[in-house]
Amino acid sequence: MEKPVSLLSTVVIVLLLHVSDSLAAPSTHSLFATFLNCLQTHTNQPNQVSNIVFSQTNTSYDSVLKASARNARFNSPSAPKPLLIITPRNENHVQNTVICAKSIGIQLKIRSGGHDFEGISYVSQASSFIILDMFHFENITVDVQNEIAVIEAGATLGQVYYRIYEKSEVHGFPAGVCPTVGVGGHISGGGYGNMIRKHGLSVDHVIDAKIVDVNGRILDREAMGDDLFWAIRGGGGASFGVILSYTVKLVPVPETVTVFQVDKTLEQNATDVVLQWQQVAPHTDERLFMRLVMQPVKKRTIKVSVMALFLGGADEVVTLLGKEFPLLGLKKEICHEMRWIDSVVWWANYNDGSTLNALLDRSHYRVHYNKKKSDYVETPISKDGFNLIWKKMIELGRVVLIFNPYGGRMNEIPYDATPFPHRAGNLYKVQYSVTWEEARDGADKNFIGQIRMLYNYMTPFVSKNPRSAYFNYRDLDIGVKMHGKDSYQDGVVYGYKYFNRNIERLMKIKTAIDPENFFWNEQSIPSLGRKSN
């Protein structure tokens, strides 16, 4: 059974990273002056530079930092803070930020939407770091005639969906259901949503990209070559450079789609519903995505919810599930037919009367404390297994399980077509989720302890050798760089869990593209050049 990183281990990590820093942490004032001078030297518009660099003494620093910090665990006064935040407005600003950060020798964190579950895009255990915040890079160009879109890395998924809808109601893009997620992190880590069974992952539709490499060069697909283009479609962008934009192929969506939600408790035969869901959801019509949400509720029971998107009409899906999934008891009265763009709002759980314009609002997100983990299930869990899981969930009291079915298009794409390896052979992905509102002492320890206990309890039911995880569901419990930023041995531990055998190709590409390991974080791709560490 894999053990989570202990508090002592975390302290060791911090100490080692401090010791491994080659330079003493510069003061905010000296760094600001040095960095500003470097940027002004490299730009043809030196007078604008001061408007994009925020030091800790700037009155706007705190608001800029927190604007895209989506986890309250990393918003506390004690959380590590960047010495500077750079908010580039053009590609030259990005190039120069990379060049100057490299010349000064300071860690660069890259943030697009701030939804990294462990805050890796905006906190660090290094003694000093700066943030390159890409939120100004939110331009989206949609070409319906050629069915493509060019999307800058700082745009949110909600903005993407809205801009596509402006041009066409019968086109969409297969990506996440949370509208405030940033494109740069989402697509570079794989990207999935409720059209995964019909259209696969977001990265399966990327046809070009632009990235700033460690030397400050802007590379498109042709210039970067096949290896780097492969790596940034599922291997994470932040290990290789700064993603500027992705060019993607749009997918067709019908004029009418159907959504529904069915809730059951254990007393309402929920266990048998879940057992039948396992037999149906990964194998049914690929136009149908049925997410399964299981949560402990009052009166010591489990509520099971089936949330679905069907790319078609209500009559068809009711007939289909009447035959394949009779225990669900789906009736047309609870089905909602709508345009695809309206289903985006439905899935976002905007229960405040929001209109489509809410998709454009990158601040339309409630920040709370949370911790997430992930797993993959390759063989169905038995009834006895679920009864044990329910008992454990009720005992713990707070942790939610979410099953996302695979199958369909996911079974047709080879594991090494992109760095994301979890294709055929996986019935569904598991997300563990715990959220809390309290900032009281011990709350973090309590709730994080709960999710770790359930994760450990699930060991017999999930993938093994390795116990796989989804890179975009970032989880520092499965491994971190405990021996400095260049540790190879630490990197392969989490690397094999996220990428399986694809980590080997990713490490070769990392070594060729960034041999000095400038682009690093707590779970970045290790370089083979550091293999002895």
Q: Which amino acid is at 528?
A: L
Whether 313 and 335 have beta carbons less than 8 Å apart is answered as no
How many CB atoms are located within 10 Å of the residue 207 CB?
A: 11
CB 342 within 8 Å of CB 354? no
Q: Which of helix, strand or coil describes residue 402?
A: strand
DSSP 156: B
Q: Does the active-site annotation cover 473?
A: yes
Pairwise CA distance, residues 313 & 287, whole Å: 11
Dist CA 108 CA 530 (whole Å): 20
Provide the β-strand partners of residue 56: none
Pull the structure tokens for residue 462.
Answer: 């999930």
**The tokens 């037999």 sit on which residue?**
279
Q: Which of 470, 473, 488, 496 is catalytic?
A: 473
Answer whether 470's CB lies under 8 Å from 429's CB.
Answer: yes
Q: Which helix (H) or strand (E) holds 225?
A: helix 221-231
Measured distance CA(231)–CA(210) in Å, rounded: 13
User: In Å, what is the CA distance from 126 to each residue of 24, 109, 113, 522?
Assistant: 11, 11, 22, 9
Residues acting as catalytic residues: 473
